[in-house]
Amino acid sequence: MQKQALHGLLPAIPATLAFMLLAGWPGPTPAADLSVSAAGATRSDDRAPCAGDAGLRLPSGFCASIFADNLGHVRHMVAAPDGVLYVNTWSGRYYAKSPPPAGGFLIALEDTAGRGRANVIRRFGATPATGGHGGTGIALYGGYLYAEEGDRIVRYRMSAGSIVPTGRPETVVSGLPLTGDHPMHPFVIDASGWLYMDSGSPSNSCQRENRMLASPGVDPCPQLATRAGIWRYSAKKLHQRFSPAGRYATGIRNGEGLAFDSTGHNLYSTQHGRDQLSQNWPKLYTPEQGAYLPAEELMHVVRGGDYGWPYCYYDEAQRKLMLAPEYGGNGHEAGLCARKQAPIAAFPGHWAPNDLSFYHGNRFPSRYHDGAFLAFHGSWNRAPFPQQGYDVVFQPLANGKAAGNCEIFAAGFTGGDKDPGDAAHRPSGLAVGPDGSLYVSDDVHGRIYKIVYQGSPDSDGPSNITQCPGVTAVGSTAGAANAMPPEGIHPHAGAAASLPVPQGATRATVELGDQVFHGQVASGTCAGCHGAEGKGTPLGPDLTASHLMWSDGSLSGIEKIIRHGVPNPKQYRSPMPPMGGAQLSSEQVSAVAAYVWGLRHSH
């Protein structure tokens, strides 16, 4: 069928039905025609043979190619029945360190050569020049492309004979909340035309002071009226306004990954669990517990369902929802949470599930059919322990429930250390193509990977399955200062030896600050937000920059900020608690200040 004819049919195909159509669609490019050195061959290790290997670690028989690169901060994606891939990209304050590419934030990508790489890339929609910031959510339904753009969801009518729409967007829902910690609005559309949208919480746990030490929760939590839940609207109607009346389910802190099972109607959502149990409540939770609690979740979302936030969090070690400390919990009591709806599957804490996709294709081995793939963006707040996540995970399912432990399906995105400041790439979105391939997007440098299976789909599948680590597996820190070399043992150890020393401090003070900063001493958490090199992440500023927003840059000024925190940041989504939430002595605070001073004066 010619591409023009395909796009002529597209307006009659709802997004969910098109997704179901993928199972029988032969696809424009057989897997053996991709950029592969020996089609169908496998090696003895866990890497499929690929020409221009994308660098991912995959089960045997799978191959990853780089479908496109340097697109901006790519978030979610959707594949059309003819193989065109549509993606949404985002900018704004979450990505303040990097300006967006010129042109529209929406992108259509097509591989007309059948080589596993997009050779047609066309941008459209709102642009930086028109005041646009892009977004996360994107979907196809009824001949329209739907996309999140700023505080609204819009739709574009698809045009026969063109991969990009030519008309102006129409507003479907407006007035979406953009404040606080989770301003994104991913969404999906079911087979009947209902649009389900996440409205993430504006805070960590609905405290009186967000993310501050021992700050109690507000009860009842007023944020639940417009945040922390799933809202439902008609994809067929225009000019709807966001309001509390549209709430479909509640108690979902940040449900970025939304997907339907093979019926096209049963809705599932991921949940980013809350942060900073040990930093905000050190008398109740150890740093180890703060690293693995709470679990990330996969939930079956039903109308009127209450999934617990902010009153509850899920403890996979105890396999139940627990009462949050902001509401009187102590880590051992379920309380009112026994009446909330528990997840169908749970994953290690703080891995950050940014997207969800059920596999309805027919090119992967049968063990993957109707299971769930999850894109884990990676943790920032498992410090002082090593960060985890940054992988694509497969969760086997049966009858709507977990059917075994999750598996690490694709790894190696970071290119080295798992650190939010240093990661080369971080999984952010997923889409299944009509040829049965799996696309994975990255929102650091805008890369899209295409993963195919080179063996027979009738095979038993790979033998080298990597199970997810145990929920309480946090890794290790170096322990006391006298148990390590003076420079520490973290990946950037030794850098402090070349830093300048502020007046009144000593080289030993700067080196102690280095160890606290990187979590080697006193369970310091600084690197989680500011990056291992102190050059910033989307959660915390660059400490090597010439200007500091809250300090004059003097040693005493830096120490004051560390000691008292930043409860109301001007350019970042989340506040900094005093001492980053760690329990530091005066000596350790002074040492971190000296280290940060040294970072600033070495550039």
Q: Check whether 3 has a pLDDT greater than 60.
A: no
Q: Based on the structure, what is the number of domains in the chain?
A: 2
For residue 597, give the H/E element and its range.
helix 586-601
521 band by pLDDT with thresholds 50, 70 and 90: confident
CB-based burial of residue 55 (10 Å sphere; 0-12 exposed, 13-18 middle, 19+ buried)?
A: middle
* Shared domain check, 427 and 330: yes
- 85 with 122, same domain? yes
Find the CATH number of the domain harbouring 540: 1.10.760.10
Say if CB 414 and CB 423 are below 8 A apart: yes
For 431, the enclosing helix (H) or strand (E) is strand 427-432
Residue 220 DSSP class: S
Same domain, 182 and 99: yes
In a domain, residue 53? The reply is yes
Amino acid letter at 8? G
Same domain, 223 and 75: yes
Task: Answer with the residue of higher pLDDT: 184 or 21.
Answer: 184
Give residue for tokens 């600084």. Answer: 526
Q: With respect to residue 16, please indicate whether it lies within any of the assigned structural domains.
A: yes
pLDDT value of position 94? 67
CA dist 186 → 176, 195, 253, 259 (Å) = 11, 10, 13, 10
Give the pLDDT of residue 25.
Answer: 28
Residue 218 lies in a domain: yes
Q: How confident is the model at residue 541 (pLDDT cuts 50, 70, 90)?
A: confident
pLDDT above 90 coverage of the chain, percent: 63
What pLDDT score does 557 carry?
A: 87
pLDDT in tens, 260-289: 999 999 999 999 999 999 999 999 999 999
Quick one: pLDDT at residue 530?
87
Q: What's the mean pLDDT in 524-548?
A: 81
CATH number at residue 77: 2.120.10.30
Evaluate whether residue 99 is within a structural domain.
yes
CA 140 – CA 190 distance, rounded (Å): 10
Same domain for 228 and 346?
Answer: yes
For position 210, what pLDDT does the model report? 93
State whether 461 and 486 are in the same domain: no
Domain residues for 338? 3-467
Task: Tell whether 441 and 500 lie within a shared domain.
Answer: no
DSSP string, 36-76: -SSTT---SSS----TT----B--TTEEEEEEE---SEEEE
Same domain, 74 and 109: yes
**Which residue type does 579 have?**
M
Q: What's the pLDDT score for residue 540?
A: 82
Distance CA 440, CA 428 (A): 7
Q: Do 489 and 374 belong together in one domain? A: no
**pLDDT, tens digit, for every residue of 49-96?**
344 579 999 999 999 999 999 999 999 999 999 999 999 999 866 676
Q: Is residue 62 part of a domain?
A: yes
What was the pLDDT predicted at 454? 92
Asked if residue 88 and residue 40 are part of one domain, the reply reads yes
- Band (pLDDT 50/70/90 cuts) for residue 302 is very high
pLDDT digits (tens, 9 = 90+) for 363-380: 999 999 999 999 999 998
Least confident of 101-115, 293-307, 412-426, 535-549: 535-549
Question: Which pLDDT belongs to residue 551?
Answer: 77
Last residue of a domain, one of 440, 467, 494: 467
